[in-house]
Amino acid sequence: MWNMHTQLNQFYDQHIRLGQERQILAEHRDANIARLKAGLEKLDYSSHFEYRNQGSYAMHTLNQHPKKDYDIDIAIIFSRDDLPGSALDTRKRIEQAMLESGDIFSHPPEAKTNAVRVYYAEGHHVDLAIYRWYADNLGNPVYEHAGGEWSCRNPMAITDWFNTTVRERSPSKDLGASVAGNQMRRVVRWLKAFAKSREHWNLPGGLIISTLVAECYRPNFYRDDICLCDTIVAVHDRLCLNEDVKNPMDASQTLTYRPVDRGRVHRFRENLERAIAELSILYRSDCTEEQALKAWWWVFQHSFWDTSESSDECGKRLGEAARIGSVFITPMGGVTTTEPTGHHVKAPISRFYGQEE
């Protein structure tokens, strides 16, 4: 298979990871915690609560988005005695407290079915999911979520499950792996980037994709591109057998009970099949670098993989590759930034004319 491990990770570092944006989102989270406390105190309600990060932010699977459409989930946990008996009244209290915080909102916070949503002009939003807890007869904590009704749910169960699964199943350097740690998390984020690559696709969200990857993940100790392709095939084959996706914490619950979710999963399967067809060129012995780049361009629809770049842009890419020692020369004089499978010579680490050290 044509080696795109290095390029795939460059794409990951430059265009998928949040970088400094994660800190900005953390500041928005903290600001909303402060607003909630201030609003509750102003209304003379108990402001004693704990909070936990949830969702893709807590799972570290939140990708860059060109329209800043980020969904930050926060679990707000009160003692049962400090909240109204009704789940709806609880969400309404939190909505009121946010409105009374003293800040001005371009779009007022809104009590939705599962959380109180705070909107930001940049495009993202913060969801405050409200929980209550109490001790059972044995002294064990019981957590309930204020959805349509109160329902038992541990606010950290999904996050803890995912982070543990990533840690336990990803190849480890202690066992001889050459890939970076947490490979399974990168696969989830690449597949989420694929799912968001065309707005009109309307494919599943992060939890369903994360659950499918956890079921079908195919680790590779040496190359992430092989791991990603093998996992894509495994997820597709699994969906061909059954398009229902169960809650990883409770197999009696399905994540695809709504028709809209079943439709998204079905389209995901169809587009994975198309991706497999496009990526099949990578396995041919006569595959060229341009063909490999075009295949990955189809998957991600991102300019990083564009083969129509100018000669200057191409030179910059080769210059950077040479600086880190990843240019290879074939017996016929060809130059490539991915290691050929046949005889080749690795170019020494060097500095191009005019390139700063």
Confidence band for 257, pLDDT divided at 50, 70 and 90 = very high
Residue range(s) in the chain whose domain bears CATH number 3.30.460.90: 21-155
* Cα 17 from Cα 190, distance rounded (Å): 10
> CA-CA distance, 235 to 204, in Å (whole number)?
13
Tell me the pTM.
0.82
pLDDT of amino acid 208: 97
Average pLDDT of the chain is: 87
Above 60 in pLDDT, residue 340?
no
What are the Cα distances from residue 178, in Å, to 1, 182, 270? 18, 12, 33
Predicted confidence at residue 311, as pLDDT, reads: 41
CA-based end-to-end distance of the chain: 34
pLDDT band for position 23 (cuts 50, 70, 90): confident
Average pLDDT of the residues in 269-291: 96
Confidence of residue 320 (pLDDT cuts 50, 70, 90): low
Which of 303, 300, 352, 345 lies closest to 327, judged by CA?
345
| Cα 6 from Cα 324, distance rounded (Å) | 11
What does the pLDDT look like over 72-104, one tens digit per residue? Answer: 899 999 999 999 999 999 999 999 999 998 777
Q: Which fold has domain 21-155?
A: Beta Polymerase; domain 2 (3.30.460)
